Structures are given as C-alpha cells and as structure tokens.
Structure 1
Amino acid sequence: MAKRTRARTATDRRQYAVEDEWTKADLAVLKELRRADALLPDDAPRALLSVRLSVLTDDTTSPARQELDLRKLALDRGSRVVGVASDLNVSATKVPPWKRKQLGDWLNNRAPEFDEVLFWKLDRFVRRLSDLSTMIDWCLKYGKNLVSKNDSIDLTTTAGKIMVTIVGGIAEIEAANTSTRVASLWEYTKTQSEWLVGKPAYGYETAVDEDGNVVLAHNQNAYKALHWCRMAAMRKREASARRMVKVLVRSGLCGPGLTASTLLRRLRNPALMGYRVEEDKDGGVRRSKLILGKDGKPIRVAEPVFTEDEFSSLQEVLDRRGKNQPARQIGGATQFLGVLTCHDCGTNTTVQKTTTKGRAYTYLRCSGCKAGGLGAPNPLEIYAQLVEDVLKVLGDEPVMVREYRQGAEARKEQKRLEESVSYYMTGLEPGGRFTKTRFTKEQAETTLDGLIKQLEAMDPDATVDRWVAVHNGKTFRARWEDGGMEAMSADLLRVGVKCKITRTKVKGVRAPHIHMKLMIPKDVRDRLIIKEDDFAKAF
C-alpha cells in the first residue's frame, strides 16, 4: 500500500498557538479592559493572572478567553492586573505551579509584585491536593490570595479555605480518572501493530497513508545518520561515539545538542528493527526492550531501519567497546564542571582517564581544541589551586540569605499616623476644637509634633512588600568547609565564577605549564545572596 510521508504537525495535534486564537474582537475587548485597568487607584490590589492549558480541544476554554475572563474578574474586584503567567501545553498533573516556566518565575522571584493570583478554574491551576496544599501554605506565608472565577475560592475566609480543599479533591479525582484512562490506552496500544499514540523512536516519523491511517515511516535524515554510524562503527579502525557526533552535527543530519550518550542510546534501541518497544525500568541505565505479542514474537509496527543481522552485529561492536570504558563515577569524574574552562576554545575542561600498560592516568582536557588540547596530568592540584584562589577572594564574604518582608503592617501604621496628623492639624486651624484654650492648643501641638516625627522616621521601603538580604552568621569559608568542594562548586556555578586554564608547552617536559585566571563577575555580592527554595520539600 502506498504511503504519503507527510509528518503530522503540532496543528494536527491541536496544540495551542497564540496567533491563531486571538481574534480582532478579542483584541478590541482586551484594549478596553486595559484602558479601564489604567483608571484604577494607585493603591488597588495587584492581580497576577494564571493561564494554563495542556492541549486545545473543542471542549476546553482557550487561553485568550481565559485571560479576558480573568481581566474582567480583576476589574470587578477592583484589582489592577500586573502580569499574565501563560503556561501553554503544560499538564497540571505533571507540572506543579512553581515549576512552570512563567508562573514559577513569578512565585519564586517576583512575589513582591502581586497580591493575589487569579485563575479561571481550580483544575486550570492545580490537579493534585498535595500541590494545592503547598500553594495554600505559600500564600499564607507571603500574604497572598488565590481567587478562582468559576469556584468559590478565597483564602481570606475560613469557608474559602475549606472550599478550596474540597474542590481540589474533586480535581484530583478527575485527574486520577484521566490517568487511568490514559494508562489503559497505553496498555492497549502496546499490543497493536498499528501506530495509535506516542512519540516515534529516533529514525521514524508519523505519516498518513492513502486510507487516512497514521503509520510510521522512515525519517530520511535520521535514516542516513544511523546507517552512517553503523558503517563507522564496523570499520577496521572504528570511530568513537564522540567522533560520530562531531561528523553528524557538522553535516547537519543532527542538531548541535546531540551528545555521545544520546547517540549510543539511539543505536542500541531495538525499535530500529521496526518493532514496538517500551522502557526497561529494571536496569539503572536508560534502555528500551521489545514488547512480545500473544504469539511470543516481537510486534512489528514499521519497516526496519536495520535488519536483525545488521542490528545484532552493531550491538556486538558496541558491547565490545563498552567493556573498555571505565565505570561511571557517582557525581561524575570531573570536579568543578562548568567552572574550569579552556582559555583557547572556551569549552569546559573534563577529566579523561586512560590506561597504559595496566597503569591508569587522568588528564584535564577540553572538547574544542584538537585532541583535547595539551592534557593537564594533575587535576587534583588544579582543584586545590582553584580552592585556594577562591577562598582568598570570596572566603570572607558573609553568607546572605534572601528573606521576604511584607509591608502590610507598616502601611497600616503609616495610614494611622497620616490620619492622626490630619485630625490634629484640622483641630488647630482657627476656630478648631483645640484652639479654644491655651492648654488644649499646647497639648495638641505637642502631640502633632510627636506624630510628625514618627511619620518622618518611618522607612519608606518598609511599607512595600520586598526581598531583603539577611546575614545568617556564617562566612562562605565556613560554608564551604562544611559542604566541601561540592558546595563550593555549586555556589561558583550559581554565581557565574569561571576559571580559565591556559596550557603552554614546555620544551623537554611532557606536562604543559598551567596558568589559571579566576574570572569574578562585578556584581558577585548580589549573586552570592542565597535564594532559599520555598518548594524544595514539595513533591
């Protein structure tokens, strides 16, 4: 049967596209709502709109409609819209609010900028009770409110807190039912020779045959890349996985993000024989295994990229070469990965191990220079020098931790003082209540002076929600002594500290001369401030 090799696009799968959903009428309404929003008073509550959608169908509310409805809700509540966190093609079951790209940034870094989070319906916001509980705790800690357009949710009342828990439970039950239906579909799909759902293995793409059925067809670029890799691996002087990656990226058959481990995983996938596979969760390494049908034979779903003999011979070569590789170390063999870089090519330096005549050698090499550049044979000495240099520059810096300060109480006090000052000033005007006797006038003037001094003494920053940096009593030297090189490496990566290594050939000496230059950002003190994760314990 002839096949048309037209790949199915995102539009066919009805994923959301922003430009397709905003009509001229919607944009006109949006303009009017923004105009009304601008007329609200300066002290109006600040609303953040949360818009989410996993997949757009005829039964779902489009993000454009969600945003317009929420803007109307904010206007009815007298709240000014300060931002829209739009997370599209995101599952609320799999991704909690604080891990979403846009909403997560607001929750983790921009909490002082809003007072309440508005969403269209609770299941648009969360679908797990544990996530909902975490968000309620976060809102109570930071003085925020959750408001739903289509649910009776308001954290400022006890009834609202109870209602949000009940509605959240219903949403989780619905999500569990959906998960059960999806799991059942996947189990059924595994036994079928037709391609129903799922992402094809590398080497294939979905296409539509003449009868309109979805089938798997060869992706031509991937097909060429896989066969070239097999040929390179089967040569007498076989090519390494790293070499294959460089050639494939340079040729344009693969993207620049390809790694050697990803390429090897693709070459070991039995789906390349045209069979249906599933993830093998028994081993500690990502692998795929064949799914057998009722007859005990593999289920064929596509034309093979490799015949069984071709695939088997390739695996023998990869297995033989894999036995010569050193065991993977937990945490990796390279310390300060991402901090130590090559001065010549700018890539990271990594530890490479070789064995000669039964003796193991370790070298620091880069990936951009030819043959990894001049190998630095003593990584531990380089680590020690880096630690010494960092401690000299940053060791005595105090450890500052970011804390959230609310300005609600200070705003109340400021308002009380302003009203009191206005009251006494009115009473001291000619004919006022405090001007009838000298005694009452003097007492009122004394009280007014005291109130004005209190008002002038107030810190303007204390009246706004803000982040402040607080010293936790330690220096970074003490912090790194407790946490070791792992803690220092994590902090240096977070701050953006780099150490450029220059390797220079020395005549008559095998090991090159090593020169290290520490690169410290100008705003290092601001970057060193530790931002504690409020959601670290959430799961």
Structure 2
Amino acid sequence: MGTRTRKRAAVDQRQYSVEAEWTDADLALLEKLRQAEAVLPEDAPRALLSIRLSVLTDETTSPVRQELDLRILARERGCRVVGVASDLNVSATKVPPWRRKQLGDWLNNRSPEFDELLFWKLDRFVRRLSDLSTMIEWSLKRGKNLVSKNDSLDLTTTAGKIMVTIIGGIAEIEAANTSTRVTSLWDYAKTQKEWIIGKPAYGYVTAEDDSGKPVLAIDPDARMALHWARRMALRGRSAQFMVRCLKRSGLMSRGLTVTTLHRRLRNPALLGYRVEEEKQGGQRRSKAILGKDGRPIKVAPQIFTEEEFETLGTALDKRKKKQPPRRVGGATQFLGILLCAECKTNMTVKITNNEFGTYHYLRCRNCKSGGLGAPNPQQVYERVVEDVLKVLGDFPVQVRQYAEGAEVRREIKRLQESISLYMKELEPGGRYTKTRFTKEQAEATLDKLIGELEAIDPETAKDRWVNVHGGKTFREHWQEDGIDAMAADLYRVGIRCEVTRTKVARARAPKVHLRLLIPKDVRQRLVIREDDFAEAF
C-alpha cells in the first residue's frame, strides 16, 4: 500500500501575520480612533488592550478585529490607549495572564502605566476561575479596573465583581471539559494499532495511506543515522564520538547531546511499538505499551530487528559508567555561573573513584576530555565568594515596591482648589479685601498653600515603582543566608565567572584564574523584585 508523507511541521502549518490582516478600511478606522484620543484631557484614564488567540480558524475573531473593537470601547469610556498586549498562539488554560510574554511584562513591570485593562471577551482573557480570582485580587490591590467588551464586567461595581466570578466559573468548566475530551482521546489512541494522534518517535514521520488514513513511515535519514550509530556502538566507539560525527554530517540537529542520543537508541519505538514515557530516578525512559493480549502494540514498520535492538543495548551497556550517587542539591555550587573561558560551557564537578580514594575536580563540557581538571572545587568556590564580596558586598539590599500616587493627587487637587478660592476672594470686591486684617491673613494663608503645593514632588503623584532599602548590605544578606543565596542572586542578575586553566610545568594540577563578568547595570539588576503572582502557584 502506497503512502504519502504528511507535512505536519510548524513551518508548514497555516501561518498568521497580523500585519497582513490590516486592510485599508481597518487602517483608516485606526487613524480615526487615534485622532479622537489626541483630544482627550491629560488626566484621561489610560487603557491597556489585551489581545489573545490560541489557534486561528475561520470561527475565531482576528487580533485586528479585537484591537479595533477594544479601541472603540476605550473611546466610549473616554480612555487613552497606552499599549496593546498581543499574545498569539497562547492557550489561556495553560498560560495565565501574568505568564504571557507581552501581557505578563505589562502586569509585572509596567503596571504604573495604565489604569484599565480591556479585553474582548472573558475567555480571551482567562479560562480558569483561580486565574480570574488572582487577577481580580491584583487589580483591586493596584487600583486597576478589568473591563470586557462582550461581557458586562466592570470591577468598579459590586455586581460586576460577582458577574466576573460567575462567568469565570463557566469558563473553567468549559476548559475542564475540553481537557477531559483531549485526555480521553489520548487514552483511546494509546490502545489502538492505527496511528491517530501525537508526535512520532525519532526515526518516523507521519504519512497517509491510499485511503487517506494517517500512518507512520520510516524517515530515511533518521534510519541511516540510527544504523550508523549502532555499528559504531558495536565497534566500541563512545557516544561523544557519535554525537560529533552525527552533528557534523547534518543527520541529527546541532543541539544533539549524549543523553538524547542514548534515549533515541534505546527507544522500543524503533521496533515499531507504541511507547509511553516514564521517569525513573530523574531519567526519562520510553517503554512499550502492552495490548489486551499482553504483547506490545505495533503501529509502525521496524527500524531495527529485535536481535539488532538487543545487541545495540548490550553494546551501550558495556560503556555505561557507574557514577557515585549525587549529593542533595547537586555536586556543583555556582552552577550556571562558573563558565569555561575557552568553550563557554558550565563548569561541573566530576567525581572519580579508584583504589586510592575519591577525587573531585571541575570540568567543562566541550573542551577535549573536559579540559584540564581543576582539583579542589571548594577552593574555587571560596575565591568566587571573596571576589564577589569585594565588588558587591557593600551594595545595599533594595526591594522594588509599588507606590500609588492617588493620595498625593488628592492632596494636590485640594491645594489647587483652595488656592483658586483664596485668589478669587482676594480680587477687588472679594470678601477677603473688606478689611486690612482679613486681606493680610488671606495672603499669608495663600502663600502657605502655594508653598505646600510647590513642596510636592510631581513624581510622587504618579503610580510608580520605588526601591526601598531594607537596612542590609549584600554582604550581610549572604552571610546570613549562605552561598546558595549568593549563587541565586548572581545567576538572577546575569553575573558570570570565567575559569581559565593553564598547564604548569612539572605539576599535575593546572593554574586556575577567575574573571568576574559583571553587567554595567548590576546595581539596578540586584534590586529584588517581589512577584505579585507568586502565591498563585
């Protein structure tokens, strides 16, 4: 039976271009709406538009239509649009608003820049009741409003808050029903001999038979690579050698690793079986799914025979190394911070056992044989700590906090109204001009009010982020919380340390040189940003 390969890669699926969707009529309407915004007063409410789309179909509302509808809504509410957070190909069920690329940046870092968050429909915004509750709580805390174009939702009213919760519950039920249907489909597909859904294992591609049904076919290039790797394994060649050759030949991707190659070579799917993944001790393994008769379910032609697969596994086992168990938290401190100066990969601790004892030393990943081994990793850690404390130890620990300017704005408004009143009554014929005493008292009060108004920093009238000093330096913080806290802070702000190992004549251990790589804006990066949504997980 003939088969036709089916192209299911992402690049071959229907691509969506927002720019291509804008028609001349849409652009004309957009320009008209922007002109209407230009005449709004400076203190007009600021609106952020949230646009989301998981999959574009004929039934979905395009991002262009969502944006235009929301701009019209903003005009009706007298709001100025300050930004559009457009997150396409994003599932509202899987990704909450604060984790989306564009909307998440506005919520976590740019919240002082808007007053209202407008979205087209509730299910375009969230599909989980817990996510909706989190957003309502956040909005009330930050003084923001949530408004839907196609649902009667407005957080400024009690009825609106109740309606949001009810509709959010319905959205969560719909999402749960969808999840149940998908789970049921996967459970059914795993028991069938026909290929129904899923991503094929390495070595196979989806195809169609003469009747149009989906089937699995062998990928010729992958088959060539797998059989070559098997021959190399039988000859005793290392997996690292195979990875280098396969990447150089282009038969496997440039991101291929030894672990990935081992997982592919040991996958029972190469026998044509349906498999599922299981995790044992942190390792990912694939195992064959058994049918009702207790035998593996076959869904594809074999790449290896059973004899070839067994001899391959035996060959791989011969070169398998028995590593000592890792300590809790991992064997390497400052992981992701210590980098090899030559290959720029992470330095990790290798442990070797022999008849003379156990040895720990630092190695990199891409240098030949891991580069020169740097013994005594603890000494390296101590030098890193010393260098970091010398450069950053006296920096103050600052926490970014959200400061609202509503109270200051009210005070400014009160002062301006009082000043206007006194100025009016001090004009000829005003009540403060009837006697010299009342005039002098009113002028003194007016000067005082003007002085109070001038003393107010205009920046404090804005919603903004402020950095608050907690009274500690980073030296004190790290002394209290330990090296793990220091490592976490260094990794967070992008500080790295290059390790150079130089051969020393007539010496077994190399000379180790460390160089800290510190970003220019390290002081700003060190500011601790509290996560408003951390409790949502």
Same-fold call, TM > 0.5? yes
Which amino acid in 1 is paired with 2:79? S
Look up the SS of the partner of 2:432 in the other structure.
coil
1:167 aligns with 2:167: yes
CA 1:89–1:221 in structure 2 vs 1: closer, same or farther (change >3 Å)?
farther
How far, CA to CA, are the matches of 2:156 and 2:205 in structure 1? 52
1:16 deviates by 4.4
Structure 2 residue 105 is matched with structure 1 residue 105: yes
Secondary structure of the 2:178 match is: helix
Rate the CA distance shift 1:25–1:282 in 2: closer, same or farther, 3 A. farther
Mapped partners of 1:473, 1:243: distance in 2: 54
**2:8 maps to which residue?**
8
Deviations 1:39-58, CA, capped at 9 Å, x for gaps = 33222211111111222233
Equivalent residue for 2:536, pick from 521, 535, 538:
538
**Counterparts of 1:67-106 in structure 2 under 5 Å?**
67-106=67-106
Aligned residues of 1:366 and 1:372 also touching (Cα < 8 A): yes
Moved more, 372-381 or 278-287: 278-287
Per the alignment, residue 453 of structure 2 pairs with 455
| Distance change >3 Å, CA 11–CA 225, structure 1 → 2 | closer
Three-state SS of the structure 1 residue aligned to 2:277 is strand
Q: Distance in 1 between matches of 2:309 and 2:163?
A: 58
TM-score (normalised: structure 2): 0.94
Amino acid at match of 2:238: A
Alpha-carbon offset, residue 19 of structure 1: 4.8
Quote the residue 2:371 is aligned against: 373
Does residue 239 (structure 1) correspond to residue 238 (structure 2)? The answer is yes
Equivalent of residue 507 in structure 2, options 506, 509, 526: 509
Label 1:394 to 1:440 Cα distance change in 2 as closer, same or farther (>3 A): same
Matches within 5 A, 1:236-275: 236=236, 238-240=237-239, 242-275=240-273
Instruction: Label 1:525 to 1:235 Cα distance change in 2 as closer, same or farther (>3 A).
Output: same
Return closer, same or farther for 1:368/1:290 CA change in 2, 3 Å cut-off. Answer: closer
**1:497 aligns to what?**
495
Structure 1 residues 143-158: aligned runs within 5 Å: 143-158=143-158
CA positional deviation for 1:275: 1.7
Match of 2:405 among 391, 404, 407: 407
Give yes or no for the alignment of 1:522 onto 2:531: no
> Are residues 47 and 272 of structure 1, via their aligned partners in 2, closer, same or farther at CA, if it must alter by over 3 Å?
farther
Check 1:420–1:221 CA distance in 2 against 1; reply closer, same or farther (3 A cut).
Answer: farther
2:238/2:319 contact within 8 Å kept: no
From the superposition, tell whether residues 78 and 232 of structure 1 become closer, same or farther in structure 2 (CA, over 3 Å): farther
User: What is the aligned length?
Assistant: 537
Q: Which is further off, 318-327 or 334-343?
A: 318-327
- SS of 1:537's equivalent in the other structure is helix
Paired residues of 1:15 and 1:55 also in contact (CA < 8 A): no
Cα distance change on mapping 1:243 and 1:428 into 2, 3 Å? farther
SS in 2 for 1:118: strand
Report how far residue 9 of structure 1 moved: 4.3
Match of 2:289 in 1: 291
Corresponding residue number in structure 2 for 1:120: 120
CA contact (8 A) 2:396 2:469 kept: yes
Change (3 A) 1:245 1:425: farther
Shift of 1:392: 2.1
- What is residue 36 of structure 2 aligned with on the other side? 36
The CA distance in 2 between the partners of 1:16 and 1:183, in whole Å, is: 28
After superposition, where does 1:426-445 map in structure 2 within 5 Å? 426-445=424-443
Distance (Å, rounded) in 2 between the aligned partners of 1:19 and 1:307 = 51
1:135 is aligned to 135
Deviation at 1:14, TM superposition (A): 5.2
- Within 5 Å, which residues of 2 pair with 1:266-415? 266-280=264-278, 284-357=282-355, 359-415=357-413
Deviation of residue 17 (structure 1)? 4.4
360-369 or 445-454: which moved more? 360-369
Q: Deviations over 1:222-263 (max 9, x none)?
A: 333333332322223x213x3333333333333333333233
Residue 448 of structure 1: how far off its partner (Å): 1.0
Report the CA distance between 1:20 and its aligned residue. 5.3
| Paired AA for residue 373 in structure 1 | G
Q: Give the letter for the 2:420 counterpart.
A: S
Task: Using the TM superposition, give the Cα deviation of residue 286 of structure 1 relative to its aligned residue in structure 2, in angstroms.
Answer: 2.0
User: Helix, strand or coil: the match of 2:374?
Assistant: coil
Kindly indicate whether the alpha-carbon contact (under 8 Å) linking 2:117 and 2:147 is maintained by their aligned counterparts in 1.
Answer: yes
1:515 partner amino acid: H
Report the CA distance between 1:133 and its aligned residue.
1.3
Cα drift, residue 330 of structure 1 = 4.1
Q: Distance in 1 between matches of 2:116 and 2:432?
A: 43
- Residue 73 of structure 1 contacts residue 149 of structure 1 at CA under 8 Å; is this kept in 2? yes
Q: Provide Cα deviations, 1:317-343, integer angstroms capped at 9, x if missing partner.
A: 334433523334443322112221222
Distance in 1 between residues matched to 2:386 and 2:188, nearest whole Å: 60
Aligned to 2:194: 194
CA distance in 2, matches of 1:496, 1:282: 33
Match of 2:422 in 1: 424
Q: Is the CA contact 1:16–1:55 (under 8 Å) kept in the aligned structure 2?
A: no
Per the alignment, residue 48 of structure 1 pairs with 48
Equivalent AA in structure 1 for residue 459 of structure 2: D
Pair 1:432–1:483, CA change in 2 (3 A):
same
Q: Please report the RMSD computed on the Cα atoms of aligned residues, expressed in angstroms.
A: 2.2
1:51-103, CA deviations, whole angstroms, 9 ceiling, x for partnerless residues? 11222233322222222211211121111222222222221111111111211
Whether the 8 Å CA contact 2:363–2:374 is kept in 1: the answer is yes
Q: Is the 8 A contact 2:269 2:275 kept in 1?
A: yes
Any conservation in 2 of the 1:14–1:57 contact (CA below 8 Å)?
A: no
Q: Is the partner of 2:168 in helix, strand or coil?
A: helix
Cα gap change, 1:304 to 1:40, in 2 (>3 Å) = farther
Instruction: Kindly indicate whether the alpha-carbon contact (under 8 Å) linking 1:82 and 1:114 is maintained by their aligned counterparts in 2.
Output: yes
CA contact (8 A) 2:268 2:286 kept: yes
Question: Is residue 220 of structure 2 the alignment partner of residue 223 of structure 1?
Answer: no
Offset from partner CA, 1:121-149 (integer Å, 9 cap, x none): 11111111111111111112211111111
Q: Following the alignment from structure 1 to structure 2, what is the Cα–Cα distance between the partners of residues 451 and 225?
A: 83
Structure 1 residue 284, shift from structure 2 partner:
4.1
Q: Which moved more, 1:73-82 or 1:273-282?
A: 273-282
Which residues of 2 match residues 16-35 of structure 1 at below 5 A?
16-19=16-19, 21-35=21-35
Give, as a single letter, the amino acid of the residue that structure 2 aligns with 1:67. E
- Going from structure 1 to structure 2, the CA distance change for 1:82 and 1:353 (only over 3 Å counts) comes to same
* Secondary structure, aligned partner of 1:470: strand
Q: C-alpha separation between the residues in 2 aligned to 1:225 and 1:112?
A: 55
Q: Tell me the TM-score normalised to structure 1 length.
A: 0.93
Q: Tell me if structure 2 keeps the 8 A contact 1:129–1:168.
A: yes
Distance 1:326 1:244, change over 3 A: farther
Aligned to 1:470: 468
How many Å apart are 1:373 and its aligned residue? 2.0
